[in-house]
Structure 1
Amino acid sequence: MKNIAAKLTVAAISTAFATEAMATEWNVSLWGKRRAFTEHVHKLAELVEEKTDGEFTMNISYGGLSKNTENLDGISIGAFEMAQFCAGYHADKNRAITVLELPFLGVRNLDEEVAVSHAVYDHPAVAEEMAQWNAKMLMTSPMPQYNLVGTGEPRDELGDFDGMRVRATGGLGEAFRAVGGVPTSVTSSEAYQAMESGVVDTVAFAQHAHLSFGTINQAAWWTENLNPGTVNCPVVVNIDAYESLTDEEREALDSSVPEAIDYYLENYGELLQRWDEVLEEKGVEKVTISDEELAAFREATASISDTWVEEMTAQGIPGQELLDLVNSTLEQTRASN
């Protein structure tokens, strides 16, 4: 009986170890703190865990695994399995998706932002470039058009942007440079300090980031309708880790993306509905840019897209094809609605 009991105990322990070994655990590298910008990642983790009965889980870290500007590098070496990054942090490493950061693309809302982002992510040129970093695009982190918060007197005319020191990355930075601004690409986590110390006069963010990183607390005014463009921030997975998943785990992950995005959109929509209350509560003046000034801004930045296409084409990236894809996707999305 003792031998039988001993064998049963060994078998039970072996089974327990085998079960534990079969479980999949991914590390996810984000930054800042939990906010509207990261809610889809949390929802994705929740859905995947539910669909796999707890056999596939994700540990979400805010800055504990990597700096935000080094998340793509971490993915490339397999330091973690999933990460979020923004294209403007290292435009030379993700050239193809910077089409989504060009100014005045005409994207009107978050649904359109999701549509154009995922269309571009599915383009072979994007997949090929990301594969160089052992990264696979999973989903976007859709953000509304960026607007400025600033100190001092409101800047509501194009001439006011001349010499303006602005925290803006990627195509947005180029847009402000075109009208005399002086863009700086400090990270989102450094924006508050840059504003507080006077390194920058203004900060270009989406609403959630002005809240999360505290720049709204330094602001005297906010431009409600400048809408020059936005930043594109994908969530990517390490290709080796993705391919190591079982068929069931991979299906759980892929099938959860649409629901995670829907949850993100609903949550962000609630934030946008509260935005006017936030401005009033913090005593921030809402600044409206005239149609004439907006038209002048668009005209001043019109050549940026042409220059981008030329530069990408010279580097072997199908720039015009990607820009055309954005425009055709917008048309299709609007037609279907």
Structure 2
Amino acid sequence: MKHLTTTAIGAVLSVSFVGEALATEWNVSVWGQRRAFTEHIHYLADAVAEATDGEFTMNISYGGLSNNRENLDGISIGAFEMAQFCAGYHPDKNRAITVLELPFMDVRNLDEEVAVSHAVYAHPAVAEEMAQWNARMLMTSPMPQYNLVGTGEPRDEIAEMDGMRVRATGGLGELFSAMGAVPTSVTSSEAYSAMEGGTVDTVAFAQHAHLSFRTIDIADWWTENLNPGTVNCPVVVNIDAYEALSDEHREILDAAVDDAIDYYLENYGELLARWDAVLEERGVERITIADEQLAQMAEAAAPIHQAWIEEMNAAGLPAQELYDLVGATLQEVRSGN
């Protein structure tokens, strides 16, 4: 039997170390189950693994690493390298991006939602605030305007929302509160049981969430045109992990984002195209809110916008600048520039 020389052993160890150093494995914390809301993360993981010949992989965990309200905390301590969270779960930790959760901001479709989200994410104030949690914005998880499902008699007028117990977070919760409703911020995973048990009368979700968390299964009605706003849910990466990537892997990750978002939009579009059939299959009544009722709600949203600007200014954030950025981005998108 031949013995390896000291030089040969060193060479073998060096190659092994280099090979190991090139391999990067990230853990990704999300919640619930795989659904339209997480498809861009799966696309990103597949794209990165393919482009790096398996040298950069992602393990996507649904609740196994953290719960949804603690994902940003997990990122801050490096418990995992990537995570998804929603701003409304802890608005005090991500104040700057809550501008995207203000009600009646006139965002009309998913393409516009992507545009305004990424414009705000790119603002220095957002980067600075996220850096406090050792987090770097990677991409949004665009959701259409929320609408209500409910049990019992439909709530299609503002007067009928007085006393209504509604699952709604962030700016939407403030808006419903202004209508006399009683908002609660139970997590998406708890919404079904809250509705089934009578803790809430109504739940505000985007379509995919009504399906995934089964609130549509026990609903009597759906507001098809309320469209009061939505929740903003970024995907972030741990700054240390991101900076530790090789230049090549970092470039591959960044380059895959746009394609991941495109895939998400295509996939979500297919879900929206099926939505009418979903309502019919489950016997859910479609409720249309009258224009004058919507106008009153939009008017009630204006003081909420102003209060947000004043509160964020007092906290040292460039609130008016962030607020105006949303409007300017919408104008730019609609002008085709």
Report the TM-score range of the alignment, normalised by the length of the smaller protein. Answer: over 0.9
Structure 2: distance between partners of 1:232 and 1:178? 21
- Structure 2 unpaired stretches of 5+: none
The TM-score with structure 1 as length reference comes to: 0.97
Name 1:35's counterpart in structure 2.
Answer: 35
Q: Percent identity?
A: 76
Aligned position for 1:319: 319
Q: Distance in 2 between matches of 1:120 and 1:85?
A: 16
State the TM-score, normalizing by the size of structure 2.
Answer: 0.97
Question: For structure 1, which segment, 296-305 or 206-215, has the greater mean C-alpha deviation from structure 2 after superposition?
Answer: 296-305
Match of 1:61 in 2: 61
- 1:147-162 matches, cutoff 5 A: 147-162=147-162
Give the 3-state SS of the residue equivalent to 1:104 in structure 2.
coil
Instruction: Look up the equivalent residue of 1:162 and give its one-letter code.
Output: D
Instruction: State the match for 1:107 in structure 2.
Output: 107
Q: CA RMSD in A?
A: 1.5
For 2:112, give the aligned amino acid.
E
Equivalence for 1:258: 258
Question: SS of the counterpart of 1:198?
Answer: coil
The residue that corresponds to 2:193 in the other structure is 193
Matches within 5 A, 1:127-138: 127-138=127-138
In the alignment, is residue 303 of structure 1 matched against residue 300 of structure 2? no
Aligned length: 337
* Matching of residue 119 in structure 1 with residue 114 in structure 2: no
For residues 187-238 of structure 1, the C-alpha deviation after alignment (integer angstroms, 9 at most, x for no partner) is 0000000000000000000000000001001100000000000000000000
Structure 1 residue 15: Cα displacement:
3.1
SS at match of 2:25: strand
The amino acid that maps onto 1:27 is N
Q: Does structure 1 residue 82 correspond to structure 2 residue 75? A: no
Shift of 1:51: 1.2
User: Distance in 1 between the 2:117 and 2:125 partners?
Assistant: 14
The aligned residue for residue 268 of structure 2 is 268
Q: Counterpart of 2:245?
A: 245
Q: Once the 2 structures are TM-superposed, how far is the Cα of residue 301 of structure 1 from its aligned partner?
A: 2.1
In 1, Cα distance between equivalents of 2:31 and 2:74? 13
- AA partner of residue 144 (structure 2): P
Give the SS at the match of 1:2. coil
Q: Distance in 1 between matches of 2:107 and 2:18?
A: 50
- Cα deviation digits, residues 140-191 of structure 1 (max 9, x gap): 0000000000000111111111000000000000010011010000000000
For residue 279 of structure 1, report the CA deviation from its aligned partner. 0.3
For residues 90 and 4 of structure 2, what CA distance do their matches in structure 1 show?
Answer: 62
Shift in Å at residue 13 of structure 1? 6.7
State whether structure 2 residue 173 is matched by structure 1 residue 173.
Answer: yes
Partner of 2:335: 335
Q: Unaligned regions of 5+ residues in structure 1, if any? A: none
Give the match's secondary structure for 2:58.
strand
- 254-263 vs 9-18, which moves further: 9-18
295-304 vs 131-140, greater mean Cα deviation: 295-304
